[in-house]
Amino acid sequence: MKRMRWLALGTAALTAATLAGCSSSAPADGGTAAKELTVWVMGDSSAHFDALVKPFEDKTGIDVKTVAIPWDSVDQKFTTAVASGDGPDVLQIGLSKLRTYADSGALLTLDDAALSGHENLAASNFVDGVAGDATAIGGKVVSVPWVSDTRVLFYRSDILQAAGISTPPATWDQLRADAKTLAGRGDGSYGYYIPQWDSVLPVIMTWDQGGDIVDSQGKIDFDTPAFGKAVDLYTGLYADKSVPTNSDFDQTQGFITGSTPMLVSGPYLAAAISQSAPELAGKWNVTTVPSGAKDTSLLAGSNLGVWGSTKNKDGALQLLDYLSQPDVQVSWYQSDGQLPTVKKALADSALTGDPMVSVYTKQLASSRLLPLVPNWDGETGKALLDALNSIVLTGANRDDALKTLFTTTAGTPAN
């Protein structure tokens, strides 16, 4: 009996020591906490972000610590933070993750009362599609818009000209025909590029056919004629041999080498092309997405949220307010290439003077959010891609694959 007690005592002591070791790492006194903010920035923009918040640090005396979270490990970092309760003060949230994060209950509610006194954060300042209630989850706002992103059609004007195509395709039918023409240039040449990991493109195609993937009850529903047309378009591009089938195809290289002279992507691709192939300037351009019944594109991007248990709520809100200033948003576009979400910033001459940006802003006006489902990347979007890719890559039966998609996604809440 006695030795059991020894063992138990030892275990308890060790556990206590371990726990004490863990908890002591968090700063305990409010004095230093008020002078510090930890911000999670997704992707590799942390150096630019440091420069962006420098004036804020100088003005308020708050030390902003930027932590870059690679896109690949976003889920893992967030999950660990929720489990340990030890998150950052402010974090960037990709819109496709917004509902998951809101559901976790880890984010501070940013309703009008919480935002009062921070005039830059009023919903009316932001692009309508993402502001306020547009990104509320269950009636609760947990984030403010930060950067917007829309998809436009990139095309190589020189290659299209050489193939006798004088203007970029205005409709998806034209695009399919042009892509076929361009693919006929020879071996290793294609007309269009479909990223096999991009679950949004089929949704954009459905919207453009005048349809939606959400039914009147606010549930995901792919079983519509418009989606059927989008599937025909998607699989048709593969059937025409207009798109590469290998999954490791590099979209930037494909565009630069001219192997895939057309694709739908975001402004970040423009930055990548200008950087890695400045000699191509003038040989490529962007235009709004091809239309069907409509010319709707995706309104994506990121919002900013405040961690619920932050010790520096005031500082965090001050930072959000600073980041929503029109001039700060413009300088973020200039340093990192990300489009603003503040209307005044979008109307700034620094942006409107650039013909490409005017295409983006025009497209933004007819863009919409992806349905805010509980887990787009891991569930709904994955099921959509699995269905389409199994048809085009492994020759799976179209009706069977779609039926699987309908049943696995039916009833997913999207409001």
Partner 1 sequence: MTRSPRTPGHEAMKNRIVPYTFIAPAMLLLIVFGILPIAVALLVSFTDMNLAGLGNWSRIQFIGGDNYTALFADPDFWQALGNTALFAVVGVPSVIVLSLAIALALNRSQGRFFRALRSFYFVPAITAIVAVALVWGYLYNTQFGLFNYLLSLVGLPPVPWLSDPTVVKFSVGLVAVWRGLGLNVIIFLAALQGVPKEYLEAAAIDGASGLRRIVSIVLPLLRFAIFFVTITTVIAWLQFFDEPFVLTKGGPLGSSTSIALFLYQKGFSSSQFGYASAGSVVLVAIIATITIVQLRLRRSDVDH
Side-chain half-sphere of 190: how many Cα atoms within 13 Å?
Answer: 24
Q: Is 18 in the site for partner 1 (CB under 8 A)?
A: yes
DSSP 3-state of 224: coil
At residue 304, φ and ψ (nearest 5 deg) are -115, 140
Classify 168 as helix, strand or coil. coil
Please work out the total of residues on this chain that contact partner 1, with binding judged by CB under 8 A.
Answer: 39
Q: Compose the 87-116 pattern: x for residues touching partner 1 by CB under 8 A, - for all others.
A: -------------x--xxxx----------
Residue 397 engages partner 1 in binding (rule: CB under 8 A): no
Contact partners, residue 201, CB within 8 Å, separation at least 6: 151, 194, 195, 234, 264
Q: In whole angstroms, how close is the CB of 248 to partner 1 at the nearest point? A: 5
Q: Is 10 in the site for partner 1 (CB under 8 A)?
A: yes
130/132 Cα distance (integer angstroms): 7
Q: Which stretch binds partner 1 (CB under 8 A): 56-64, 77-85, 119-127, 219-227?
A: 77-85
Nearer to partner 1, 352 or 415 (CB): 415
State yes or no: residue 253 binds partner 1 (CB under 8 A): yes
Q: Who contacts 157 (Cβ-Cβ below 8 Å, separation ≥6)?
A: 168, 283, 284, 285
Closest residue by Cα to residue 272 from 247, 253, 246: 253
In the numeric block, which tokens belong to residue 103? 């559901």
Q: Does 2 bind partner 1 (CB under 8 A)?
A: yes
Residue 250 found at the interface with partner 1 (CB under 8 A) = yes
> Between 6 and 164, whose beta carbon lies closer to partner 1?
6
| Among positions 157, 287, 325, 375, the unique one binding partner 1 when judged by CB under 8 A | 375
For residue 146, give the 3-state DSSP assignment.
strand
How many CB atoms neighbour CB 279 within 10 A? 7
Residue 354 interacting with partner 1 (CB under 8 A): no
Coil/strand/helix, residue 237: helix
Q: What is the DSSP letter of 137?
A: B
Could you say whether residue 276 binds partner 1 (CB under 8 A)? no
Q: How many angstroms separate the CA atoms of 232 and 227, rounded?
A: 9
Q: Candidates 31-39, 321-329, 351-359, 375-383 — which segment interacts with partner 1 by CB under 8 A?
A: 375-383
Q: Which amino acid is at 303?
A: N
**Cα(23)–Cα(85) distance, integer angstroms:** 11
Return the residues of window 177-216 that contact partner 1 according to CB under 8 A: 196
Of 241, 349, 363, which Cα lies nearest the Cα of 295?
A: 363
| Nearest approach, Cβ of residue 221 and partner 1 (Å) | 21
Using the rule CB under 8 A, give the single segment among 20-28, 134-142, 208-216, 241-249 that binds partner 1.
241-249
Instruction: Indicate the residue among 106 and 414 with the shorter CB distance to partner 1.
Output: 106
Tell me which residues touch partner 1 (CB under 8 A). 2-3, 6-7, 10-11, 14-15, 18, 75-76, 78-79, 82-83, 100, 103-106, 196, 245-250, 253-254, 259, 375, 377-379, 386, 389-390, 393-394
